[in-house]
Amino acid sequence: MKRVALFPGSFDPFTRGHEDIVLRGLNLFDEIVISIGYNSGKSQRYFAIEQMMAKIRETFKSYPQISVVTYAELTAEFAKKNGAKYLLRGLRNTTDFEYENSIAQVNRHLNQELESVFLITSPQFASINSSIIREVHRYKGDVSGFLPYNL
């Protein structure tokens, strides 16, 4: 059976830390679907979803087992509809763990076949945070070291 994992997130923007988790996840899964969700808790994106999809696809163009999609529903339901039995998530710190643990418990309740798999962020990427990158970019700072593509 093919092991399909969703890597869900808002990816506003998609960072080198995200890239690292996806590439390491290829050691565990046959296919990874980077799933850009419409987050109801965020009023507006900084980078357009279409722009992020194009940048992420370009980043992984040499990896046919990685795809990029968008979705606007519960992640647990989206996983079920797409035959994904795993959610791939990265953890930078204990705050991430507390947040991700709560989400994993709810997803498991909604879809009993869905397992959340957590990878600890590689040390060189632990400080990368999408919110900080957006702020640096907003004020014309150089964000190239934090992203696997050029803006």
User: What band does 151 get if pLDDT is binned at 50, 70 and 90?
Assistant: confident
Q: Domains in the chain, start-ordered, CATH in brackets? A: 4-146 (3.40.50.620)
Tens-place pLDDT, residues 116-126? 999 999 999 99
What does the pLDDT read at residue 42? 64
Residues 141-148, mean pLDDT to the nearest whole number: 96
Catalytic residue among 16, 35, 89, 130: 130
Distance CA 103, CA 97 (A): 10
Using the predicted structure, report yes or no on whether residue 40 has a pLDDT greater than 70.
Answer: no
Tens-place pLDDT, residues 62-120? 999 999 999 999 999 999 999 999 999 999 999 999 999 999 999 999 999 999 999 99
**Does residue 144 carry a catalytic annotation?**
no
**Does residue 92 carry a catalytic annotation?**
yes
The one-letter amino acid at 125:
F
**Does residue 42 carry a catalytic annotation?**
yes
Catalytic residue among 92, 108, 134, 137: 92
What does the pLDDT read at residue 6? 98
What is the chain's Cα-based Rg?
A: 15
Q: Is this prediction's pTM over 0.75?
A: yes
- Residue 36: phi, psi to the nearest 5? -90, 115
What does the chain look like in DSSP terms, one character per residue?
Answer: ---EEEEEE--TT--HHHHHHHHHHTTT-SEEEEEEE--TT-S--SS-HHHHHHHHHHHTTT-TTEEEEEE-S-HHHHHHHTT--EEEEEE-SHHHHHHHHHHHHHHHHH-TT-EEEEEEPPGGGTT--HHHHHHHHHTT---GGG-SS--
Residues 10-33, mean pLDDT to the nearest whole number: 98
**Does residue 61 carry a catalytic annotation?**
no
Average pLDDT value for the chain:
95
What does the pLDDT read at residue 38? 86
Catalytic residue among 2, 42, 81, 138: 42
